[in-house]
Amino acid sequence: MAVSLKHLNACPADEFMSLVGPVFEHSPWIAAETAQGRPFQSREILHARMCHLVRAAGREKQLALIRAHPDLVGRAVLTAESTSEQKAAGLMGLSKDEVALFDRYNREYRERFGFPFVICARLNKKEAILQAFAMRLQHTEEEEITTALEEIFKIANLRLLDLIPENP
C-alpha cells in the first residue's frame, strides 16, 4: 500500500506505526520512536531519522533488530516483504543442492555470530549472496554487526520507496 509523506506526517501515531512498522523487520519500536519526530520534509529525511534511531539504540536493540530477520532460504514463515525480496533475488525455487548450500552457510554464520546473515536481497542475486556469505564469514563480530546494520538500512530504504513512491 502506497501512501504520501503528507499523509504519514498527519495521520494518527497508531496508523503511522501500522504503515511504517514493516520497514524494519519485526521492530515496531523504530516506527514508534520515529512517529514522535514528525513532520518529515522528505522520504530521505524520514529514512535518515530511522537509521539514526537504530545507530543510537545501543547494542542490545541493534542485535534484536538483526535477529528479527529470517534466514535466507530458511524455513521460517516470512513477512510479505521478505518473501518478495527473496523472490527478487532468485531465492525461491532453488535446486536441492543450492538449498543445502544456503542451509550450511546459514548454520555456519549463526554459529559464528549468533544472528542471521542479513543482506539486501533486492540488490543482489543468489550468486552474489553466496559470495557474500563466504566473504562475511571472515569478518570480526564488530565488522559483521556494522555490515548487517548497513544492509538493513538498504532494505528499509527500499521498503520506504515502496511505501512512499513520490517525494514532495
For residue 69, indicate whether it is catalytic.
yes
C-alpha cell at 79: 513477512
- Cell, residue 51: 537509521
Q: CA distances (Å), 113 to each of 21, 59, 62, 135, in order?
A: 26, 14, 14, 14
Contact assessment for residue 99 and residue 107, using Cβ atoms and an 8 Å cutoff: no
Residue 39: asked if its preceding bond is cis (omega within 30°), the reply is yes
C-alpha cell read off for 9: 506526517
CA distance 97 to 102: 9
2: its cell numbers: 502506497
Q: Which of 26, 47, 52, 69 is catalytic?
A: 69
CA gap 72, 167 in Å, rounded: 31
Just list the catalytic residues. 69
